[in-house]
Amino acid sequence: MTTNLNLLANAIRFLSIDAVQKANSGHPGMPMGMADVATVLFKHYLKFNPENPSWINRDRFILSAGHGSMLLYSLLYLTGYKNFSIDDLKNFRQFKSICAGHPEYKKNSGIETTTGPLGQGLGNSVGLAIGEEIFRKKFGANIINHKTYVITSDGDLMEGVSHEVMSLAGHLKLKNLIVFFDNNKVSIDGSTSLSVSDNYKKRFESYGWNFIEINGHNHNEISNAIKKTSKSNKPNIISCKTIIGFGSPNKSGKASSHGSPLGDEEIALVRKKLKWNSKPFEIPKDILNTWRNIGKKGTALEKKWLDSLNNKNYKIKKELEEILNNKNLKSLDQLINSEKEKFFKEKPAIATRECSSIVIESISTLLPELIGGSADLSGSNNTKTKNSKIISSKDFNGNYIHYGVREHGMAATMNGLALYGGLIPFGGTFLIFSDYCKPSIRLSALMGLKVIYIFSHDSIGLGEDGPTHQPIEQLAGLRAIPNLNVFRPADINETLECWHIALKSKNTPSAIILSRQKLPYINPFFTKENKCELGAYVVNKTSQNYAVNLIASGSEVEIALEAQKKLKKINIDSKVISMPCQELFDQQNNTFKNEIIDKNIPVITIEASSICSWEKYSNHNMGIKTFGESAPYKEVYSHFNLTSAKIVELAEKIIKQ
Ligand SMILES: Cc1ncc(C[n+]2csc(CCOP(=O)(O)OP(=O)(O)O)c2C)c(N)n1
């Protein structure tokens, strides 16, 4: 068994070092060090089917240490995933290659998530493991019974987010989570002793994890450790003592093997040492066949699973299909429209965070796949409703996660939940703390995941908590992220519409930005079509021959409407435009855009935030250029000149020019 495994592991090693050498960049050390662990895992334990990379009951394999991407690409090629040919491996790190520098998530390809920013993959894996628990509870242990395996590195575990998610995983007792720690004690700067003295055993045991330590090059120890995890009722970490750059006479154990090609001379020495006589990218037939047969086992595994699914009652099968294909979303239109009609009649004046709560409460009855949560601000973000059922280690039959004060961990976990399949995660914190989620929001956007971020307390309107809590630059920062829809609704019906867009959107995450303070109902129309879908709409125009455009979002639409009334009194006609989503507006055609904003007429934008993202529409931007102030919110608004009187003053000045 051992020789065979050595040969299989060496196939990974040589594909990795040869691809890095050909690309003249990349990270050979990690794949060389972890090849043994990966081989034992894939050969004997991992449940996967290269013919169907999206099989819902597959084990998930996450390479959190994404810089070692060649380890993953080699495995996907060797086991027969269609997207990974030998030519793809030769194209490592080249333009549009599936073998990108760091793994980039592509649905149905075998790459389960995008990794590279250290710590993120670990966070995703916690979301995936929660997803498995939720599905197992819902559909039964004979239908859902897979594991989530992760390879993590020293760097991953140094990142703060690793603490947040490992702690959460321990709390939730995610026993089907199995993390291999590539404990090679080397990072870029050299030995990890330069910067870490953590006792990993104590660290993980204090989180409530099962900690196992092994020699990561001993196949029996690897195998026995994996076996042991199946008896565990806690998350598992297998600390694998490995040698970075294993097999390289001059670079193994050294940082020099971490992030650059080994060089032709050294590679020749590795070939000699590991007795590998094949040319670059050539895998001896018998070794490739053995690997391919490992992959082929998946067809029978999935077939067997399908049989047991078919034997289940029809209701369960149907429910699984509905969730996986988000079919429940189809019945949403009717619900949203009847709610809109109701609120159009009632015209309630409430904070948009409360509006959001009303939306969540009604939609969650239709959508069992909606998994909410908050980073310890449930009552403030209004994410928890009477339809929320708490997910706990004892009961995964719920739809709400108390993430604790772990914003970054929450966001990384939500990405994992979205990647699981079928589930739609949403989670809340204050807008100011979106900064703590930012690295994971960026990845939701890069991967095109349906994750819904709820950010309340959206401006100086939060008042007395002061400048530490008043977001200024956060909206502009979020709007700068490609493929993220940032919604800032002004009232309940806009909130309903923005939620609706977020739920329907396929490959774009959403940030729904909500006020703490009460806001009036503003939308004068009742239309079945979703007005926010086009990004902006005209709320009110006092004449066809108006003299000024006032564009605002969220809480400032109310102030713009007040200013409009005052302007009318002094015979200045105006048009008030609500712009809940700049991204959607910017995607519309010019005819529509010019219809909404006639640039021949002066334009004033108003938002209690940095003016950065508004300058593309106008030179007259009312916003905030400093940090906020601690005081009751109306006073703070006055201090920053965000009042209807100041809008009137500016409008008069511009018109006279
Ligand atoms: C958040 C983040 N910070 C920094 C980096 C740059 N980086 C890539 S790998 C690495 C550390 C490598 O050490 P380790 O994690 O132990 O990996 P190994 O050397 O064992 O391959 C760093 C700092 C990164 N990818 N992500």
The pLDDT tens digits for 610-648 are 999 999 999 999 999 999 999 999 999 999 999 999 999
Q: Helix, strand or coil for residue 241?
A: strand
**Ligand 1 atom with the shortest distance to the CA of 33:** 20
Which of the listed residues 70, 179, 183, 258 should we mutate to test ligand 1's pocket, taking the one with most ligand atoms within 8 A of CB? 258
pLDDT at 2 over 70: no
> What are the tens digits of pLDDT across the range 183-229?
999 999 999 999 999 999 999 999 999 999 999 999 999 999 999 99
Kindly give the distance from the C-alpha atom of residue 624 to the centroid of ligand 1, in angstroms, as a whole number.
Answer: 38
Q: Closest Cα to residue 513, out of 488, 539, 495?
A: 488
Which comes out higher in pLDDT, residue 607 or 314? 607
Q: Which residue has the tokens 């294909």?
A: 325
Which of 131, 137, 181, 128 lies closest to 158 in space, CA to CA? Answer: 181
CA 119–ligand 1 middle distance (angstroms): 10
Amino acid at 69: S
Do residues 494 and 556 make contact, with C-beta atoms less than 8 angstroms apart? no
Q: How far is the CA of 635 from the centre of ligand 1 (A)?
A: 47
C-alpha 93 – ligand 1 centre gap (Å): 18
**Residues carrying an active site annotation:** 407
The pLDDT tens digits for 18-34 are 999 999 999 999 999 99
113-157: pLDDT as tens digits: 999 999 999 999 999 999 999 999 999 999 999 999 999 999 999
CB burial of 342-356 (b: ≥16 within 10 Å; e: otherwise) equals: ebbeeebebbbbbbb
pLDDT tens digits along 225-259: 999 999 999 999 999 999 999 999 999 999 999 99
User: Given phi > 0 = left and psi -120 to 50 = alpha, else beta, which region is 27?
Assistant: beta
| Percentage of the chain lying above the pLDDT 70 cut | 100
SS (H, E, C) 417-435: HHHHCCCEEEEEEEHHHHH
The strand pairing partners of 620, in sequence order, are 604
Task: Give 493 Cα–ligand 1 centroid separation in angstroms.
Answer: 46
Average of per-residue pLDDT across 257-272: 96
**Distance, first Cα to last Cα, the chain:** 86
What residues line ligand 1, using a CB cutoff of 6 Å? 27, 29-30, 65, 67-68, 116-118, 153-156, 159, 182, 184, 186-188, 244, 258
Q: What is the DSSP string of 295-357?
A: HHHHHHHHHHHHHHHHHS-HHHHHHHHHHHTTGGGGGHHHHHHHHHHHHHHH-----HHHHHH
Kindly give the pairing relationship between strand 537-541 and strand 574-578: antiparallel
pLDDT band at 523 (very low <50, low <70, confident <90, very high): confident
Q: Please say whether the beta carbons of 151 and 38 come within 8 A.
A: yes
Atom nearest to 158 CA in ligand 1: 15
> What DSSP element (H or E) covers 94?
none
Burial of 549 per CB tally in 10 Å (0-12, 13-18, 19+): buried
CA distance 573 to 58: 63
Q: In what order do the strands lie in the sheet with 400-402?
A: 400-402, 370-374, 424-430, 452-456, 510-513, 485-487
Amino acid found at 149: Y
Average predicted confidence (pLDDT) for the chain = 96
Q: How far is the CA of 36 from the centre of ligand 1 (A)?
A: 21
**In a 3-state reduction of DSSP, which class is residue 183?**
strand
Residue pointed to by tokens 């709409």: 537
The ligand 1 atom at the shortest distance from the C-alpha of residue 159 is 1
SS3 at position 616: coil
Both tokens assigned to 153: 């590195």
